[in-house]
Chain A
Amino acid sequence: MARNGTELVYRQRLPTRVTHWAWAVCLFFLLLSGLQIFMARPDLYIGQQSGFAFDNAVLSIGAFMDGATMKARTVLFGHSFDTTGWLGAVWEDGDLQPKTFPSWLTIPGYRDLATGRVVHFFFAWGLVFALALWLVASLANGHARELVLSRGDWRGLPRDVLDHLRLRLSHGRRYRSLQKLSYALILFLVLPLMILTGLTMSPGFNAFMPWTLDLFGGRQTARTLHFLLMLVLVGFTAVHLAMVLLAGPFNELRSMITGWYRADPESER
């Protein structure tokens, strides 16, 4: 049982594991179908509407012809970048095509807004159901409380951040400050905001709950926030995967599949 004083503990309950993998699948498809939808209008604006006779764009991606050669420009907050080859004009079958993203970044790989929307809304329901299931189960079985930072956790936060930066990763029975904080932010803030900004883009939902337009500052701002939150989720996922690899992928994956986790001796923390 004990190996260097470690022991297997049952750390992840069934609802946590099931919803974790449901989110993984849903977010993967939501990302790639969302980028497909974004391709139909690769611009982001601030406000209620899109400026055509005025400029309220914060991001614009597009191809243009420079003489006989195609180039791509990405304009972010008024700063222009040449993104030929990877944003706005991408290589497809050896030719430069006027397309926002390469085909491996979208579902389907070719331009198809209708399918992108069908896929996006299917997995959006999946995300909503998984989040609801997790919330109900975690409130019932006490898992939600494990994500709440105690006074001590807040005091230990700077230390925990430093430890992570030095890659001194612990394998405790419970989450430490940074883990609690990041999971709590994703589950209680980022994912609900993702759903709410998505709904705020719906003219039907706007008629049903007009206050969300005021909350986010207009439909186009909601769309921009939806995109920003996507970047947050992509960033979170990248760090999350890196941490799993650094902390020992076998142990981490086992805990998220079977629930059993090899923890360091309790005395360490």
Chain B
Amino acid sequence: MLNSLWCRRLAGLLLLWVAAFARADLSVDIVGGGANRYPLAVPAFAGEAAGDALTGIVRGDLALTGMVDLKPVPAGAIAADAAQLNAPVWRTLGANAVLAGRMSAGTGGLTRVDYQLVQLAPRKVLAEGGYEVPPAALADAGHRIADAVYRALFGEPSFFLSRIAYVLKEGRGSYALQVSDVDGRNARTVLRSKEPIISPAWSPDGGRLAYVSFETGKPVVWVQDLGSGQRRVLANYRGSNSAPAWRPDGQALAVVLTTSGNSQIYLVGAGGGAPQRLTRSGAIDTEPDFSPDGSRIAFVSDRSGGPQVYVMPAAGGEPQRVSWQGSYNVSPRFSPDGKQLTYMRREGGRFRVVVHDLASNDARVVSDEVYGESPSFAPNGRMVLFASDAGARSVLWASSPDGTSKVRLGTVSGEVQDPAWGPARP
């Protein structure tokens, strides 16, 4: 399933294209892009073999953002560095800049990769650098080069070094909790189970996942170290245990317990200890998410009747209702700057992904699908990831928070559930 390389050209709504993706559980299709995209040419690097995925990864990452207009490059066109670059020729392609680069043999069997991002008029090197990596780490070098290009063009970090977690349901009674690079490469199974797995949540350092597993016959919250694979029970109290959310300091998690006879939010230490109750209602209080500064918790409560989004102080206290449009608003997640929430709203028979600005209370629908679930922000706040059903199967979508750009991360087989966008790797 993971082996064969494939190459495909896609004409999306705005004729963006993506090339040379290694086939993985997830693949990337660009179906929409924002206006004012930066025109860029990314030819193959000098010395790059046909089977190397290096510049394919760079193009794929940049295309994912919807902010770059990747110009088609004639086959065989190569620019090894700024000195060899014939600017007028490249300008005829419509590019404002070219990513030049070369691959060569490094020391001790490593592969050396050098790159220069060259603006054509006025001519200027915007970014340059090099890596010596083992062949197996070429994909990582590709993500790092794409990040350097993105930073040079847009003056902020990219999300290319982050990972996503999701649950792949491969039929009844077969669940796989998986983690992959943001482009779907390097997908690996963290946990396989015959019983449902839901609600994966990344630790702030990206090293651990909390999740809910039904393997013991009821929902129990586990924490698993991604490096060692070791896992332990975080919350297994009488009743149901669910909805883990890490505090940004990584020292504690909010979870939902039912020991009071209804679903309420509690705080538990990451290393264990007695739960401390944070909400006190006779209603359902669930789906907690900490603000990035750790001061607030967004959650869902049906204390007013239907489920709505609320925000309360992180230590508990009087909640403020945030969502007022619609009768069903669930699954809130903060943006990295804490100024927005994304959540899921029922509109008629549809479930839409909404991005809600907390200062203006402007709430914008960013999904067109019949069903969108489990939205979460990219670590740089530029995209929202969510799962959707497209006919019989479900797929992952990433949309810009203004809804103008959209990317489909299509599944090869199975049903993708509960995606969660993880933090950026250092």
Say whether A and B bind each other.
Answer: no
Q: Tell me the B residues contacting A by CB distance below 8 Å.
A: none
